[in-house]
Amino acid sequence: MNKIAVYPGTFDPITNGHMDVIKRGAEIFDVLTILVAVRKEKNTLFSIEERLNMVKCATKEIKNVNVAVLDTLLVHYLKEHDIRFVLRGLRAVSDFDYEFQMALTNSELYPEIETIFIMSSRQYIFLSSSIVREISSYGGNVSNFVPKCVAEKLKTRRK
């Protein structure tokens, strides 16, 4: 039976840290679906369509990865699609509390869920979408931190 996992996130925008988690996750699972969350409550820099298109562009060469929008509760999506595995990335200690809370809450709502954590690689441990947005908003060069199509998109979004 195919092992299918989802990797949910905001991806505002997708970074090389996310890419590292995706590439490593794609070697563990037969199919990995990246779920780009709509995030009504968050003021994102990029719209859901833009975030989705950047993730698609960045992952188009990875065969067993596909991309979808998450516009409902994660557990509802998982139940509906009969998926049990959730992939998340862990950077410094600061990620731990939030990730632990999410994983425990999700397994309370849907006990069959297994959340799998991939530890950040050393070079991405301090890389986040918010740092990338900040650097880019002041005209800084983010080409070492994000996939090419994201760097190009960010240039169009500078104030």
Q: Is 9 in the site for ligand ADP (CB under 6 A)?
A: yes
Q: Is 71 in the site for ligand ADP (CB under 6 A)?
A: no
Q: Distance between CA 150 and CA 50 in Å, rounded?
A: 10
Question: What distances in angstroms separate CA 49 from CA 20, 63, 82, 96, 127, one per listed residue?
Answer: 22, 22, 25, 29, 23
Q: Closer CB to ligand ADP, residue 1 or residue 136?
A: 136
Nearest to 68 by CA among 38, 46, 39, 36: 36
Q: Closer CB to ligand ADP, residue 1 or residue 7?
A: 7
Amino acid at 89: G
- Binds ligand ADP by CB under 6 A, chosen from 6, 29, 78, 89: 89
Q: Is 44 in the site for ligand ADP (CB under 6 A)?
A: no
Q: Is 128 in the site for ligand ADP (CB under 6 A)?
A: yes
Q: Distance between CA 72 and CA 20 in Å, rounded?
A: 26
- Give the interface with ligand ADP as residue ranges (CB under 6 A): 9-11, 15, 17-18, 21, 88-89, 91, 95, 120, 124, 127-129
